[in-house]
Chain A
């Protein structure tokens, strides 16, 4: 094909040179996107009874293949590829690998049909809740298997978002990751009105925040005459235009990114959406979106706008403090376990922001490590939430969790492990993750943030430990929910979460070194 192109160029003096595309560097994303497209065709041609199995196998195979491709690419030189639109550097590979591993865990939860009556997903999303039509769809054993290709499209977007080295491509990736999640949030099988409300809220606010991104992008382009991160960084020192244009642009882009990773004051959607969405999807977006959004945040702020660090650092300090405080304090008052985990995720975003505010090399690697540790404890915790059920589906109210440790010591014990990890206590990954980010923050001169972080950690530890006490120290209610035994798939997801949480808690050094080798971001 290259020969043909050369021949063509020789014959036609007006020929537009073809862009050079390094297919190997973007292979992991191409695999996931390709699998998503094949998934759509599966929906079109495979008979209904075989769809769920086909989709599960296809999606899992695709994610594993992409993970293999990521690992195989670690030997390649760090460089910008595809006309400088994508950065193929250490953080990209580290984050993409993390997202793929987390997605495998989440996909196992999505695919498991052994929990409850069927799955956590709606039989036919178009049926009105509570109608005869809905009951007919349930009786017919229908299932919305479009969940799989949608999730794969979201994974492809998540992988591209932190890898993009160009604001326009980053925006496209942001939309590719967000749009499927809006839909998936509305597909819960039970409490469907709550789920649909969550989807509408997420969509409206998400679309609004995307608009902020585009507006910021336009202003930055007006300043830098380019949307590529490297050019923007150069223009900060050379441009003759007023700084206000680029500062307002950066603020708008920052709002959009903080919205995605639920930083305060852009966090309002998080509890509602986490509560309303089907639990496997909550696990998926809590882990995956956070990793992708933090990856993109680091790249945009460090690579493109590193020259403005003196301007944006005070704002990040404020946001970090607000995020930690709001996540910690509002979490105390929650009575629904999914909302509680949502506020916990807000607090964790705040802890990660403390390291980000330090803007050193150590802050990059400590954020990467935190994202791995946090992602896996999240997948595991939501997997356990799926198992505690009564006749109406999941029993999410904390009063229903009383005495669960007596009824099912194993599952309650595993949940307690994840809670300890979120609280940052040994022997779990959470301890080292917190140590890493607070150390990076302290060394980077963000000492006051560390103090707030430690205090906020203590408050969050209170509500995690309260659940543990609730589960183990009291007698279960007579009519309480049961803990169903997980099927093979979700058992595998829980095992993955437990393994990573304990291994990173006991021997964190390997992954710490890996994260340290992955940074810095290619500038």
Chain B
């Protein structure tokens, strides 16, 4: 049990810092609200008002975000492989190429079908 004490201490520190920052911020910061300040922060499209009559809203942002995640995951797999590259040998290289090619097929599809054009 004793070995967990540093982790609990870290939890306390983290929680304390969060509470302190919020309270300190609300006490000392200037309060000049305008419309932009009430918007969702960096979350793509405006959530409200909804389009009238169930109309459409653009999905461009989601498409970009999804593509980003695909490549993000790819990088996550590439890093440990790069570290252990010398030990994994030819087999690791071949498997990694196969993995990248598979992801690339999806990328080519998105590119050819206009998923990368903003308008």
Contact = CB atoms under 8 A, between A and B. Distances in A.
Interface residues of A, number: 18
Contact of A5 (B90, B111, B113): B90
A316 B90 CA distance: 48
B112 A1 contact: no
Contact of A12 (B86, B94, B112): B86
A1 B91 CA distance: 8
A45 B84 CA distance: 36
A19 B95 CA distance: 11
A400 to B, nearest CB: 31
Q: Which of A1, A12, A14, A16 has the most CB of B within 10 A?
A: A16
Nearest to B112: A44
A348 to B, nearest CB: 37
Interface stretch (A35-43, A90-98, A197-205, A301-309): A35-43
Interface string A1-44: 10011001100101110110000000000000000010011011
A44 B88 contact: no
Interface string A245-283: 000000000000000000000000000000000000000
A43 B102 contact: no
Nearest to A133: B56
Contacts of B56: 128
Interface residues of B, number: 18
B25 interface: no
B22 interface: no
Residue from B105, B106, B111, B113 having most chain A Cβ neighbours under 10 A: B105
Nearest to A131: B56
Contacts of A4: 89-90
A297 B108 CA distance: 37
Nearest to B101: A37
B41 interface: no
Q: Looking at chain B's contact residues, is the secondary structure mostly helix, strand, loop, or mixed?
A: helix
Interface in B77-119: 84, 86-92, 94, 102, 105-106, 108-109, 111-113
A41 to B, nearest CB: 6
Contacts, number: 49
A9 B56 CA distance: 58
A18 B113 contact: no
A41 B105 contact: yes
A416 B106 CA distance: 44
Interface in A276-292: none
Nearest to A37: B105
Contact of B91 (A18, A37, A44): A18
B108 A5 contact: no
Contact of A15 (B87, B102, B106, B109): B87
B109 A8 contact: no
Nearest to B59: A126
B90 A8 contact: yes
Contact of B108 (A8, A18, A41): A41
Contacts of B105: 37, 40-41
B3 to A, nearest CB: 22
Contacts of A1: 90-91, 94
Contacts of B91: 1, 5, 18-19
B113 A15 contact: no
Interface in B43-96: 56, 84, 86-92, 94
Nearest to A1: B90
A18 B90 CA distance: 9
A16 B84 contact: yes
A14 B84 CA distance: 10
A250 B115 CA distance: 42
Interface string A29-65: 0000000010011011100000000000000000000
Contacts of B87: 12, 14-16
Nearest to B108: A44
A41 B91 CA distance: 26
B1 to A, nearest CB: 21
A41 B109 contact: yes
A18 B109 contact: no
Given A14-B86, A44-B108, A45-B112, 5 more contacts: A1-B91, A8-B89, A9-B89, A16-B87, A40-B108
10 contacts: A1-B94, A4-B90, A5-B91, A16-B87, A16-B88, A18-B88, A18-B91, A40-B106, A43-B112, A45-B112
Please name the 8 residue pairs, one residue from A and one from B, whose CB atoms are nearest each other, closest first: A18-B91, A44-B112, A8-B89, A44-B109, A14-B87, A16-B87, A4-B90, A40-B109
